[in-house]
Chains A and B, each alone.
Chain A
Amino acid sequence: MKFWQKNTRHTYWNPYFGGFMLGLLLIATFYITGRGVGATGASKSAVITTVEAVAPTFASGSSFYKKYYDEEKNPMKNWLVFETIGILAGAFLSGALSGRVRFRIQHPPKITPKKRLIIAALGGILFGIGSQIARGCTSGAALSGSSMLSLGGFITMFSIFGTAYLFAYFFRKLWI
């Protein structure tokens, strides 16, 4: 058996090692750019670009789009968009090396794939709204914010995890 055929699907890095590497990456990012990493910024740019292309009159009338339209002429040419392309490539690389790349719906045994997709969409919508309210998601606000000891970053971090723990009991049927 060749090494790339070995079943490594369930072997992940030791979480502390992963955390250490992520910490080093954050330091390097701050050292190079003076800012942290992010993940929702690119989605925001994509939404704005799409809306402006499809319905320019709506975009120019809405204060949300106006806010970004004035700031940045072309939202797609954004640092975070390029970073997200990198995330896609990096994750694919890691997944490919461990034989994890294939099309599938990952779902807990008690949940049908269809139901899993519905709740995933619902969760995505909530996360999309929340990240816009809080000016950043787990990576941008909580992780990068806390590296620089930002008060808001810590509040967001504990708010996300606190809420998730509080409601974990009510949604246990979805996961275990």
Chain B
Amino acid sequence: MYTGPLTYFDIISTEWNYVIAVLIGIAFGYIMEASGFSSSRKLVGVFYGYDFAVIRVFFTASIVSIIGLLYMSYFGWIDYSVLYVHPTFLYSALFGGIVMGLGFIIGGFCPGTSICAVAIGKIDGWVFTIGLFVGIFIFSYIFPYVGEIFYGGDMGHIQISEYFGISNELFALIFTVLAVIVFYITTLIRRRVKHVRY
């Protein structure tokens, strides 16, 4: 018998939803800040080779959660089939990613990290967050014109393993191997690049 997700099986009632949301948020914020994600100079270091914290944290988190969820599903603790799979809209994912990539290299934050920067009093984080609001506001104007991109290439709630026709477990292994190789390369690059103090 599955027990998770807890709210899905009504083990935790919906009144607790917001309490849980705050608790998860606290843990999320704490981990990001403690990993140095409130500093834009540390974040963009990944693109200039002087600090690879972003890639290391991101890929480790990704692998741990992929493998962990598969194990939990295997032991019957969590019903994998009801978990939310982010839907794939090919064009919007690609195009949105490009715009966000530009925003990242120019602004030096992403939304989650800018909230961390706001919390510890970084003025540039405040400004970035205000920019974020403005960006969402601008999007509401251009929304009618980007419908084709927004709704184009709809592939539903598809998983990448399904797309390549392999099992989830095999994909997890391939991804882990790739990540370990990337981690190794980052240490090699780190040695060659001039260290930046910030």
A–B contact (CB under 8 angstroms): yes
**When the two chains form their complex, are residues A13 and B34 in contact, meaning their CB atoms are under 8 A apart?**
yes
Task: Report if A105-B122 is in contact (Cβ < 8 Å); known contacts: A30-B78, A123-B108.
Answer: yes
Residue of B102, B122, B137 touching A167 (CB-CB under 8 A): B102
Complex contacts, B17 vs chain A, CB 8 Å: 33, 79
In the complex, B185 has a CB within 8 A of chain A: no
Q: Which B residue sits closest to A136, measured CB to CB?
A: B86
Minimum Cβ distance to chain B for residue A71 (Å): 15
**When the two chains form their complex, are residues B98 and A159 in contact, meaning their CB atoms are under 8 A apart?**
yes
Interface residues of A, dominant DSSP:
helix
Complex contacts, B87 vs chain A, CB 8 Å: 135, 150, 152
How far is it, in angstroms, between the C-alpha of A103 and the C-alpha of B161 when the chains are bound? 46
Q: Which A residue sits closest to B50, measured CB to CB?
A: A176
How far is it, in angstroms, between the C-alpha of A90 and the C-alpha of B66 when the chains are bound? 24
How far is it, in angstroms, between the C-alpha of A140 and the C-alpha of B20 when the chains are bound? 17
Task: Report if A106-B122 is in contact (Cβ < 8 Å); known contacts: A43-B129, A128-B139.
Answer: yes
Interface size on B, as a range, is 35 or more
Residue of A82, A104, A155, A167 touching B123 (CB-CB under 8 A): A104
Complex contacts, B88 vs chain A, CB 8 Å: 150-152, 155
Chain B, 127-140, contact with A by CB distance < 8 Å: what is the 0/1 string?
11111111111111
28 contacts between A and B (CB under 8 A): A12-B53, A18-B35, A24-B68, A25-B28, A33-B5, A39-B110, A39-B111, A39-B115, A44-B136, A83-B22, A89-B29, A93-B30, A104-B122, A105-B123, A120-B40, A120-B127, A121-B107, A123-B103, A124-B129, A125-B131, A127-B107, A130-B99, A135-B89, A144-B86, A151-B155, A155-B94, A164-B105, A174-B106
Query: Contacts A46-B133, A101-B121 given; 19 further ones with Cβ under 8 A?
Result: A12-B42, A18-B31, A22-B28, A25-B31, A51-B137, A62-B144, A79-B17, A92-B29, A92-B119, A102-B121, A120-B128, A126-B107, A132-B136, A133-B99, A155-B94, A155-B97, A160-B97, A163-B105, A175-B48
